[in-house]
């Protein structure tokens, strides 16, 4: 089974460099164009199933892929972005001044940090990886598409690559990027990562 991991297209908060957790933002105009580019990039894939976070920005991206492949979408709440609690919507530079203790711990030992009123990275990884194992257990034989979010996908890829969560900053997942993972029994292989060539104009 091949699993294609897609980060949703751009929202206004992405553009404005704001913390974006479980707030239900839609794609902006650029994000809609990016979602269409993702769909075209996958046009030759034999997509058997599509799973998505129910948050609008992810679901709208999945719907664009679904329209091309005529495959129904299954939404999984476990694929939602990290619950960033009280920081949702803050501009990233404001984190340091408004939540200095959290920011300090997040900088030096992110897995031990919990977003104020929200989740920690280990909690996020547990629910996201649980969703992936559930998808694998359904015995799909062809390509499966998963649309989700920045931190959610990072924790999944850390698991795939055997990386510690403390090493998550060694990876970067761009908006509207595509990564592919191949599952073959106990063998897991990263086929490609953070592909964005489809966004070039």
Token output for 128: 């996201």
Q: Which secondary-structure segment (H or E) carries 148? A: strand 143-148
The position carrying tokens 């959610």 is 152
Q: What is the DSSP letter of 47?
A: E
Please identify which of the residues 8, 36, 69, 119 carries the catalytic annotation: 8
Taking the CA atoms of residue 10, residue 12, residue 14 and residue 16 in that order, the dihedral angle to the nearest 10 degrees is: 150
Cα gap 132→156, rounded to integer Å: 8
Residues contacting residue 87 through CB under 8 Å, at least 6 positions apart = 19, 21, 95, 98, 99, 102, 115, 116, 118
Q: Is 81 a catalytic residue?
A: yes
Catalytic residue selected from 78, 81, 119, 195: 81
Continuous H helices in the chain: 12-15, 29-41, 56-69, 92-98, 100-108, 121-136, 150-161
198 as an active site residue: the answer is no
Active site residues: 8, 81
């Amino acid at each position: 089974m091949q699993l294609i991991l897609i980060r949703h297209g751009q929202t206004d908060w992405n553009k404005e460099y704001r913390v974006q957790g479980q707030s239900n933002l839609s794609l902006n105009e650029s994000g809609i164009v990016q979602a269409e580019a993702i769909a075209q990039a996958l046009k030759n894939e034999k997509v058997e199933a599509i799973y998505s976070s129910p948050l609008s920005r992810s679901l709208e991206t999945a719907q664009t892929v679904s329209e091309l492949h005529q495959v129904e979408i299954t939404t999984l709440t476990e694929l939602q972005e990290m619950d960033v609690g009280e920081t949702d919507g803050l501009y990233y530079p404001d984190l340091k001044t408004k939540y200095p203790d959290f920011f300090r711990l997040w900088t030096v030992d992110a897995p031990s940090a919990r977003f104020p009123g929200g989740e920690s990275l280990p909690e996020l990884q547990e629910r996201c990886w649980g969703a992936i194992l559930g998808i694998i257990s359904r015995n799909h034989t062809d390509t499966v598409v998963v649309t989700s979010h920045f931190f959610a996908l990072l924790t999944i890829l850390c698991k795939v690559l055997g990386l510690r969560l403390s090493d998550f900053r060694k990876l970067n997942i761009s908006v509207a990027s595509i990564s592919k993972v191949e599952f073959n029994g106990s063998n897991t292989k990263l086929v490609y990562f953070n592909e964005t060539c489809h966004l070039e104009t």
